[in-house]
Amino acid sequence: DSGVTQTPKHLITATGQRVTLRCSPRSGDLSVYWYQQSLDQGLQFLIQYYNGEERAKGNILERFSAQQFPDLHSELNLSSLELGDSALYFCASSVVEDTQYFGPGTRLTVL
Amino acid sequence: AQSVSQHNHHVILSEAASLELGCNYSYGGTVNLFWYVQYPGQHLQLLLKYFSGDPLVKGIKGFEAEFIKSKFSFNLRKPSVQWSDTAEYFCAVRGSSNTGKLIFGQGTTLQVKP
């Protein structure tokens, strides 16, 4: 158990819908990262937040957005979902930019 | 652009065989290097990391890796694998100018036969 929690574990939804994935970082970690893992793209960095502020952006689609709240938990919002958005979404956290510890992931299936 | 290449996509070994998984990266500056393991149905777990100092780093479960700067490589090794090492292994790089962003290789699936 890494100490990073993610909810829900599984999510099944339809194309065009919007979902929210939630992540709680390890106690004391200020940085939260979101990654997408898919069969064709592998593990891709989406976005990083540090203490509530966006720190770095990767291959994140405009339909996706994220935020980090004052209690340091983070949410990843995915909208206008397409079949190709089906993937495992991982959250990771770290103290500043040290070693990242990963959560169990949310498996999103878009039908 | 930064990239990470893992040479072997699928490796099959018998128990007690030695393991070496290749990882090469492209980045011009100082890097931090990581190996993560993902057991079936589980999340990524850190095996080992290199930030600076001794280029031979030891990790958990008997794994080690050697950073060879001239070859831009960070190969993972284990002298004797066990059935429980069956998993997917990911090499990752973080460049000093990239904040916390990790660039992952494609992953290597290791299957250990009992």
Task: Copy the structure tokens of residue A39.
Answer: 């069969």
8 Å CB contact of A105 and B43: yes
Range with the largest mean pLDDT of B28-37, B39-48, B104-113: B104-113
The chain-wide mean pLDDT, for chain B, equals 92
* Cross-chain CB nearest to A55 (options B94, B99, B104): B99
- Whether B14 shows a pLDDT value over 70: the answer reads yes
**Segment A69-79, tens digit of pLDDT:** 999 999 999 99
| Residue that is written with structure tokens 């290749």 in the block | B22
8 Å CB contact of B99 and A100: no
Chain A residues with CB under 8 Å of B94 CB are: 97
Please give the Cα distance from B16 to B84 (Å, whole number): 12
| Residue that is written with structure tokens 């819908």 in the block | A17
* Residue B7: band (very low, low, confident or very high) from pLDDT cuts 50, 70, 90: confident
Q: What is the pLDDT of residue B104?
A: 94
8 Å CB contact of A56 and B42: no
8 Å CB contact of B106 and A104: no
Instruction: Name beta bridge partners: B35.
Output: B48, B91
8 Å CB contact of B100 and A101: no
Per DSSP, which regions of A5-52 are E strands? 5-7, 10-13, 19-24, 31-38, 42-50
H-assigned helices in chain A: none
Q: What is the pLDDT of residue B101?
A: 86
3-state secondary structure of B60: helix
Closest by CA to B42, choosing from A34, A108, A26, A104, is A104
Low-confidence ranges of chain A (pLDDT < 70): 96-97
Check: CB of residue B41 under 8 Å from CB of residue B90: no
Range with the largest mean pLDDT of A55-59, B3-7, B48-52, B74-78: B74-78
- Whether B28 shows a pLDDT value over 80: the answer reads no
Which residues of A make CB contacts under 8 Å with B? 2, 31, 33, 35, 42-45, 48, 50, 55-56, 58, 90, 92, 94, 97, 99-105
Rounded mean pLDDT, B71-81: 97
Please give the Cα distance from A98 to A86 (Å, whole number): 29
- Whether B42 shows a pLDDT value over 90: the answer reads no
* Cross-chain CB nearest to A56 (options B42, B43, B99): B99
* Cross-chain CB nearest to A56 (options B49, B101, B105): B101
Task: Say if strands B23-26 and B31-38 run parallel, antiparallel, or are unpaired.
Answer: unpaired
Q: Is B34 on the interface with A (CB under 8 A)?
A: yes
Rounded mean pLDDT, B99-112: 91
Other residues' Cβ atoms within 10 Å of the Cβ of residue A87: 22
Say which amino acid occupies B106: Q
* Cross-chain CB nearest to A99 (options B49, B99, B103): B49
